[in-house]
Structure 1
Amino acid sequence: MNNLQDEVIAFLSRPSSYGNANLPVERIETHGSVIFLQGDRAYKLKRAVAFAELDFRSLQSREKACQAELQLNRRTAPTLYLSLLSITRQTDGQLALNGCGQVVDWLVVMRRFPQDRLFDRMAVEGRLTEPMMEQLGAEIARFHAKAQITPSFGRLSDLYEEIEKNHREMSRYHLILDAATIAAIAHASRTLLQSLTDCLEERRRAGRVRRCHGDMRLANICLLDDQPTLFDGIEFSERIACIDVLYDLAFVLMDLQHHGLHRLSARLLSSYINHSGVEEDCKPLALFLSLRAATRCFSLAGAALRHADPCKRYEKRAEALQLMHQALSDLQGENPILNHLAMTGAASYT
């Protein structure tokens, strides 16, 4: 974070900056953005930071990312993503929203929705239902059918890179995660990927690699106007977002299973297959589920070490351990969703 953004954040934290000093401002912070909530709007600011997959340090890069976020997320949430808004420096030196002075930063303006409509919260509270999964499966299938085909991505080398990244990142957290289990996950992943070479290449050539959502976790799905709605897709990395459609779907399937919602996960997959309009070969799904679990595992392990609250540290540590074992179980053919569909004949496994 730089001094200018500190000033911008202070400005956006004041109710008077939005023209209505009577409505409080709430703030949500992530590693890549700060979201300001006031009234019926949410204002998303890109942090001036750089990580492995993104670099928002320049004003130009943040403007480009905001434009891409608006465009890409309108594919799934056109009534949620409203516009872009500039933050300007006026002649008196003060900051203003969409003023006439020099632009110092950019915001994505979104329609605000109640936080209890987020699917991760609904999962914890037991409020997700099978009809919702039926709707969600149909929506994801519609989205994937219309998404841009990107055959230059989703190659075997990209998936091998994901396996090695997961192994490398999980190994950093040896105080939490078991080294032998991490090694077993990496070895089994490489072996399974090698056996899927022909299948995955055929899927890529057939147009199953597309510009997807890229981060389809329960936390990035909400109930908007009584419809399951995908939002906050990846805009900053084509490598992350241009993937096999089943790899995209695997994130939410894995997340449901992580919450113990195996029946809902199976219903979602069945709905997706039934609405996809193509014969879907789910043979790579075990690998994709394991990769998603491993990625989420090291993310939560890192959060466990960073958290100041001992209770939160314990909670994140427990989740990371559960996901580590889930990643290995997927590779060993012990995933309930695959067993369920194999028995019902809703998809073909060869």
Structure 2
Amino acid sequence: MTNSQDEVIGFLSRPESYGLHGGTVEKIETHCSIVFLAGERAYKLKRMLRYSSLDYTTLARRQAACAVELVLNRRTAPAIYLGVSNICRAPDGKLVFDGPGPVLEPLVAMRRFAQTALFDHLLEHGRLTPALMQALGRAIARLHNGAERTPQFGGSAAMRRVIADNARELARVASALDGADASALTARTAAALEDVAELLDRRRAEGKVRRGHGDLRLANICLWAGVPTPFDAIEFSDEIGCIDVLYDLAFLLMDLLVHGCADLANAALDAYLDVAPETDGLRALPLFLALRAGTRAYALAGSATRQADPAQAARKMALARRHIAAGRSFLAPHWRGLTRINAEMQRKEFESPRSKG
């Protein structure tokens, strides 16, 4: 964190800045943001930093990112995303919210919700139900049906880049993950891509690559007013956010499958397909699941290496290894972990010339 944001962070860390007296301000820190929870509001500050996939190093870039984040997330969570607030320097030199002075930092302003409403928390406590997953599947399908088509992204070329990115990042943590497993996952995804490359390019031409969510993990879905609500869509990278719709959905399905919840994954997929039908595209879903598992594996392993608590580090690394194993299983020759994939494969086998002949 650079010192130029320290004054704003100090301001946002004090209850009196929000008119709270005797209250507290909670902070949630991620790689690229800090979320300040104060009263009934949450304010997201984008860190002044640069990664390969994002650049928040200037005020103008952070302002633009906040504006895009607001637009994208209001598609699924309009009641949560309130607007963009600015921290300004008043004429007396003090920092204020949305004052007349120069803008120091933009913030995404949101309504606060309990962390217990997050779907990863609900899963951990046995509160996710098939009905909730059906509602979520339909909501994601509606998002995809109405999303902007982005044929300049996606296709087999995009998946080759994902495979290369996963391979590079997994290699960095291979000693902790078991390099043989990670290497095998990379090899299997590369081979699987060749089997569906033409399909992926055809899907792009047919309009199946759209501006989706980009990070549909359980941790980015909450129960708001009783309704499953995706939030925190990817705003900083068009390549990550503009993807095949089934690759977008695959993050959710993978998350559920890795946690042993095939029933919930099937409920979400079935409901999705009722609103956004797919047939041939389901052949690409095992590859999409494996790629999502690989991406999550290196993120978890990297997080484990930064943990001060040895128990937390061990837990994250074990979960990373589980993702590697799951990714390999998705690409096993006869994997049929999702019933709709099984039905589609059986249909294809029945219709193939060999079966008729």
Q: TM-score range by the shorter chain?
A: over 0.9
Q: Is the 8 A contact 1:342 1:349 kept in 2?
A: no
Q: Is the 8 A contact 2:279 2:344 kept in 1?
A: no
Give 1:72's aligned amino acid.
L
Structure 2 counterpart of 1:63: 63
**Alpha-carbon distance, 1:52 to partner:** 1.2
Structure 2 counterpart of 1:228: 228
**Alpha-carbon distance, 1:66 to partner:** 0.3
**Alpha-carbon distance, 1:332 to partner:** 1.2
Q: Specify the SS of the correspondent of 2:174.
A: coil
**Alpha-carbon distance, 1:347 to partner:** 9.4
Query: When the two structures are superposed, what TM-score results if normalisation uses the length of structure 1?
Result: 0.96
Aligned residues: 349
Q: Is the 8 A contact 2:282 2:344 kept in 1?
A: no
Q: What is the alpha-carbon distance in structure 2 between the residues aligned to residue 99 and residue 299 of structure 1?
A: 39
**Alpha-carbon distance, 1:348 to partner:** 5.8
Structure 1 counterpart of 2:285: 285
Structure 1 counterpart of 2:314: 314
Structure 1 counterpart of 2:85: 85
Q: What is the alpha-carbon distance in structure 1 between the residues aligned to residue 213 and residue 322 of structure 2?
A: 25
Task: Spell out the pairing of 1:101-250 with structure 2 (5 A cutoff).
Answer: 101-250=101-250
Provide Cα deviations, 1:262-286, integer angstroms capped at 9, x if missing partner.
1101111111111215656301000
Q: What is the alpha-carbon distance in structure 1 between the residues aligned to residue 148 and residue 236 of structure 2?
A: 16
Give 1:172's aligned amino acid.
R
Give 1:170's aligned amino acid.
L
C-alpha root-mean-square deviation of aligned residues, in Å? 1.6
Q: Is the 8 A contact 1:27 1:34 kept in 2?
A: yes
Q: What is the alpha-carbon distance in structure 1 between the residues aligned to residue 214 and residue 152 of structure 2?
A: 16
**Alpha-carbon distance, 1:94 to partner:** 1.4
Query: When the two structures are superposed, what TM-score results if normalisation uses the length of structure 2?
Result: 0.94
Give 2:229's aligned amino acid.
T
Structure 1 counterpart of 2:23: 23
Q: What is the alpha-carbon distance in structure 2 between the residues aligned to residue 187 and residue 46 of structure 1?
A: 36
Structure 1 counterpart of 2:304: 304
Q: Is the 8 A contact 1:28 1:34 kept in 2?
A: yes
Give 1:94's aligned amino acid.
K
Give 1:167's aligned amino acid.
A
When residues 333 and 218 of structure 1 are mapped into structure 2, their CA distance, relative to the original with a 3 A threshold, is farther
Provide Cα deviations, 1:37-92, integer angstroms capped at 9, x if missing partner.
11111111111111110110111110000000001100111111001111011222
Q: Is the 8 A contact 2:156 2:198 kept in 1?
A: no
When residues 334 and 304 of structure 1 are mapped into structure 2, their CA distance, relative to the original with a 3 A threshold, is farther
Give 1:341's aligned amino acid.
R
**Alpha-carbon distance, 1:341 to partner:** 2.5
Q: Is the 8 A contact 2:32 2:47 kept in 1?
A: yes
Give 1:215's aligned amino acid.
D
Structure 2 counterpart of 1:341: 340
Q: What is the alpha-carbon distance in structure 2 between the residues aligned to residue 349 and residue 268 of structure 1?
A: 23
Q: Is the 8 A contact 1:209 1:244 kept in 2?
A: yes
Q: What is the alpha-carbon distance in structure 2 between the residues aligned to residue 18 and residue 91 of structure 1?
A: 19
When residues 82 and 97 of structure 1 are mapped into structure 2, their CA distance, relative to the original with a 3 A threshold, is same
Greater percentage in helix = 2
With 81-90 and 13-22 compared, the bigger mean Cα shift is at 13-22
When residues 291 and 99 of structure 1 are mapped into structure 2, their CA distance, relative to the original with a 3 A threshold, is same
Identity %: 46
Q: What is the alpha-carbon distance in structure 2 between the residues aligned to residue 278 and residue 247 of structure 1?
A: 13
Q: Is the 8 A contact 2:304 2:317 kept in 1?
A: yes
Q: What is the alpha-carbon distance in structure 1 between the residues aligned to residue 101 and residue 215 of structure 2?
A: 36
Gaps of 5+ in 2: 350-357
Q: What is the alpha-carbon distance in structure 1 between the residues aligned to residue 200 and residue 50 of structure 2?
A: 32
When residues 347 and 147 of structure 1 are mapped into structure 2, their CA distance, relative to the original with a 3 A threshold, is farther
Q: What is the alpha-carbon distance in structure 2 between the residues aligned to residue 280 and residue 270 of structure 1?
A: 15
Moved over 3 A (4+): 277-280, 333-336, 342-350
**Alpha-carbon distance, 1:171 to partner:** 0.9
Q: What is the alpha-carbon distance in structure 2 between the residues aligned to residue 132 and residue 231 of structure 1?
A: 16
With 275-284 and 42-51 compared, the bigger mean Cα shift is at 275-284
**Alpha-carbon distance, 1:20 to partner:** 2.4
Q: Is the 8 A contact 2:286 2:330 kept in 1?
A: yes
Q: What is the alpha-carbon distance in structure 1 between the residues aligned to residue 269 and residue 56 of structure 2?
A: 36
